Structure 1
Amino acid sequence: MQLELRHLQAVCRIAEAGSLGGAARRLGVSQPALSAQLRRIEQVTGGELFVRGRGGVEPTALGQFVLAKARRVLSEMDALGAEARAIGTGSPLRLGCILLVLLDGLLAETDLSMSGQEITVDLEHSVTALARMLGTGQYDAIVYGEVNDHEVRLPAGALARTLIPKEPFCIRLSAKHPLADRDRIDLADLAAEAWMTPVEDDDGGPEALVEACAKAGFTPSLRYRITDRMMQYDLIAAGRAISLSQPTAPQVAGTVMRPLTGTPIAGRIRLAWNRSAVSAGQADLLFRAAARAYLANVDNNRFHREWWDAHPDLQISPGGEPSAAGTPTP
C-alpha cells in the first residue's frame, strides 16, 4: 500500500480530535474502519503513530514526524487547488450566506474589491446546511451567525475568521407599543407578547431566546415563523408580534428598535472558507469587504453606535484589521 492524501488526512484528524472515535465522527466513518486504516498506515510508516493515554491518544515520536510532513503536504495541496482556481478563468467563487443585515452591502463591496472575480451568492435559512454545503464543495465560502454559546461545526478543510465577536440583539416592536418610549427594555416585560420565531433555527437563536426568557420567568409564545421581512415588519407595525433583531437592522416605518437590559442574547458573525478552493488573498478580500459592509450599518441605530464605541476591543477597522478574534482558525 502507498500513502495517499486521504491517509494523511486521517492521521491529522486523529491528532486533532485526540481520539479515534472523535476522528471517525469528523471523517464520517466508523471507528473500527478508522482503526483498521490506521494499522495499515502504520505498516507503511514502520511503527506506531499514536499511543493511548488517559486523555485519549497521543502521537509518538514517529507520529509527530509523520504529522509534520502530512500537514505540510496537505497545506501545499490546499494552496495548489486554491491558487489554480484563482488563476483559472470561468470559475466563479461561490458564496453562501444566511440573511444578515450586512448582506446587501457585502454584495456591493465584493463587486468593488474583487473586480475581475465572478462571485455567485445564494441565500440559505439553515446554518447547518451552509456548513454541509461548504464541506461538499457546493460553496467555496460562507458568511453565517452564531448566537450566545452556540458553535457551528465546520467541515474538515475549512478555515474561519470571526468578523464580529459580539453584537447585542435588540427587540423590534410597534411604534405604538406601550414600551416603545423606553430607551431600554427588560425582557420580563415582554412575557405576554407574541414572538416571531428566528428564521434560522440552527444557529442557537431559538434556544438562546427560550433560555433568556426562562431566566426572566416566562416561556415565549413563538407564534410566527415568516421568512418574508416585509411581512414581518407589517405584523410588528400592527402590534401583532415582536421580534429579535440585529442591532444594525434598518429603521422601518411603524416600528422601533430597543436594546434589552443586560444583553441576554448576543450574536457573532463569521466567515469560513474551503482552503482548497479559496486562496488566502481571496479570503482576506472577502473578510475586508464584509467588515466594510458591517461598519456601514453601525449608525443605523443610535444605541448600537453607543455600544460599539464603548467596546473598542471588539471592533474592526474599515480595512478589515480585526481584534485578536479575527485570526483564522481551523
Structure 2
Amino acid sequence: MQLELRHLEVVRAIAEAGSLGRAAVRLGVSQPALSTQLRRIEQATGGELFVRTRLGVEPTPLGEFVLSAARRVLGEMDALTAGTRAAAPHPALRLGCIMLVLVDRLLAPLEEELPGHEVDITTEHSATTLTRMLGAGKYDVILYGEVADYEVPLPDGVAARTLIPKEPACVRLSAAHPLAGQEEIELADLAGETWTTLTDDDDGGPEAMADACRRAGFTPTLRYRIADRKMRWELIAAGRAISLCQPTSPLVEGTVLRPLAGDPITGRIRLAWNRAAVTERRAALLYRAAGRAYLASIPDNTFYRAWWEARPELHPVLA
C-alpha cells in the first residue's frame, strides 16, 4: 500500500486527538475501523507510529517523523487548493461525490439546471476525505451517503440538506447463486457467505451490516475490500462474494440485485455545500439536479419502484 493524503490525515488526527477513540469520533469512523487503518499505515511506513500510554497514545520517534511530514504536506496541499481557487478568473463549481450510483445520471440534469456553468465532478472512496476537502476548500459541494443512524461530521461553514431520507439496502449476488431466484432474501439466509465492500467504507455501512447480521444470528465474513466497482461486480458474478448495494444500482451481467426482507439496513443521501462558495439558490439547483438524477434511476429496479411509490413521504421536493 502506498501512503496517500487520507492516510496522513489519519496520522495527524490521532496525534491531535491523543487517543484512537477521540480520533475516531473526529474522523467519523468506528474505533475498530480506525485501528485497522492505522495498522495498514504502519505496515506501509515500516513500524509503529504510536504507543499506548495511561492517558491515550503518543507518537514514537518514527511517528514524530511521519507526523511532521504529514502536517507539512497537508498544509501545503490546503494552501495550494485555496490559492489556485482564488486565482482562477471564473472558477468552476467543484462537486465531490462518494461512488453513489446517481452520479452516473447526474450530468444531464446538471447541464439543464446550471446552463453555461462549468462543473468539475470528482469521485472519492471516503466520506472523511470528502468532508475534509470540503472544509479545506477543494470542493464547493459534496454528495454522500450515510447508513443507519450514523451521521458524517461536517466542518464549520457548511450547510447540508437531505436528498433521500431513506432507502433500503439490497444484496447483490451471482445470478447462479441458490438464492438468486427468490423475490426477497432473509438476511439470516446469508450466514456463511463471503462479503465484499469498498476499500474505505466510513459512512456507517460496515457497522450497520455487522449489527444487522448480529441481530440475524451470525457474524459476516468480510474478505474483500475493493475500490474498483467493475472488479467488485466481476468478483460477485463469479460467485466468490456478495455485497450490499443501493437499490438503484445498475443491472450487471452475471449478477442479480435482491431486497432484504424487512429492510434490516437502510441509508440516506445528503448534499452539503460551503456557504462561502455556493449561494442558496445554486444549492437549490444542485439539489434539484441530484433529485432528478435519483428519480431517473428508480425504474431500473422493479422491486424498488414499488417500494418507492408506496412511500411518497420520502420523495424529494424538487419544485
**CA offsets per residue over residues 108-139 of structure 1, 9 Å max, x none?**
22122212211111111110111111111111
- 2:106 alignment partner in structure 1: 106
Aligned residues: percent identity? 61
Runs of 5+ in structure 2 lacking a partner? 1-24, 27-84
3-state DSSP of counterpart to 1:241: coil
**Whole-Å Cα distance in 2 between the matches of residues 266 and 199 of structure 1?**
20
Separation in structure 2 between the aligned mates of residue 243 and residue 140 of structure 1, nearest angstrom: 31
SS of 2:267's equivalent in the other structure is strand
Cα distance in 1 between the residues matched to 2:236 and 2:161: 34
Q: Distance in 1 between matches of 2:102 and 2:209?
A: 22
Q: Which residue of structure 1 aligns with residue 197 of structure 2?
A: 197
Larger Rg belongs to: 1
Separation (CA, whole Å) in 1 of partners of 2:153 and 2:255: 35
Query: Which amino acid in structure 2 is aligned with residue 102 of structure 1?
Result: L
1:295 alignment partner in structure 2:
295
- Indicate yes or no: 2:250 matched with 1:250: yes
User: What amino acid is the match of 1:110?
Assistant: L
1:198–1:205 contact (8 Å) kept in structure 2: no
Pick which of 126-135 and 193-202 moved more: 193-202
- Alpha-carbon distance in structure 2 between the residues aligned to 1:231 and 1:107: 24
Secondary structure of 2:94's match?
Answer: strand
Q: Spell out the pairing of 1:68-147 with structure 2 (5 A cutoff).
A: 89-147=89-147
**Across the two proteins, how many residue pairs are aligned to each other?**
235
Q: What is the CA–CA distance in structure 2 between the aligned matches of 1:178 and 1:249, rounded to whole Å?
A: 21
The 3-state SS of whatever aligns with 1:150 is coil
Give the letter aligned to residue 92 of structure 2.
P
| Per-residue deviation, 1:255 | 0.8
Contact 1:168/1:266 (<8 A) preserved:
yes
**Counterpart-to-counterpart distance in 2, 1:100 and 1:201:** 12
Amino acid aligned to 1:310: A
Distance 1:244 1:98 in 2: 15
**Residue 274 (structure 1) aligned with residue 268 (structure 2):** no
Partner secondary structure for residue 209 of structure 2 = helix
CA distance in 2, matches of 1:185, 1:198: 22
RMSD of aligned C-alpha atoms? 1.7
Q: Which amino acid aligns with 2:253?
A: A
Structure 1 unmatched runs, 5+: 1-24, 27-84, 322-330
Alpha-carbon distance in 2 for matches of 1:112, 1:313: 26
Q: CA deviation at 1:199?
A: 4.1
Distance 2:124 2:237 in 1: 26
TM-score, normalised by the number of residues in structure 1: 0.69
Q: Could you tell me the TM-score, scaled by structure 2's length?
A: 0.71
Aligned to 1:263: 263
Distance across 2 between alignment mates of 1:199 and 1:180: 26
SS in 2 for 1:211: helix
Assess, with a 3 A threshold, how the Cα gap between structure 1 residues 89 and 111 changes in structure 2: closer, same or farther.
Answer: farther
Q: Please report how far the alpha carbon of residue 309 of structure 1 lies from its aligned counterpart in structure 2 after TM superposition.
A: 0.8
Q: Conserved in 1, the CA contact under 8 Å of 2:125 and 2:198?
A: no
Following superposition, which runs of at least 4 residues in structure 1 exceed 6 angstroms of deviation?
none
Contact 1:198/1:244, CA 8 A, preserved across alignment:
no
